[in-house]
């Protein structure tokens, strides 16, 4: 199993209205279900606004493609650098 912090979007209610922001949650992944890993960088200004102070804006994250039938998306972005994630998977 691989322990990672998934980056996902939530709707946040404020006194100014509703806005989407990114949040983190811990999750465990079965290494056998990982099909591919790609470097991922948030580039748009709306992504940078959604990040707030939670994440470093210039950091390269990882996008993981999972195999399996699930009600969730088969793609997830995690708060782990691509190189360190690859090293951990192939030890």
pLDDT at 68 over 80: no
Taking the C-alpha atoms of residue 42 and residue 6, their distance in angstroms, rounded to an integer, is 14
pLDDT at 27 over 70: yes
* Amino acid 69: pLDDT: 65
Instruction: Specify the range with the lowest mean pLDDT, choosing from 44-48, 56-60, 63-67.
Output: 56-60
Extract the runs of DSSP E, i.e. beta strands, from the chain.
2-14, 17-29, 34-40, 61-66, 75-78
pTM for this predicted structure: 0.79
User: Mind listing the pLDDT tens digit for each residue in 69-89?
Assistant: 665 678 899 999 999 999 988
């Amino acid at each position: 199993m691989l322990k990672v912090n998934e980056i996902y979007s939530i709707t946040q209610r404020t006194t100014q209205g509703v806005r989407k922001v990114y949040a983190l949650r811990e999750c465990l992944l079965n290494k056998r279900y990982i099909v591919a890993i790609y470097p991922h960088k948030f580039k748009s200004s709306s992504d940078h606004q959604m990040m707030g102070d939670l994440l470093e804006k210039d950091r390269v994250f990882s996008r993981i493609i999972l195999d399996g039938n699930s009600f969730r998306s088969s793609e997830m972005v995690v708060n782990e650098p691509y190189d360190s994630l690859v090293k951990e998977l192939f030890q």
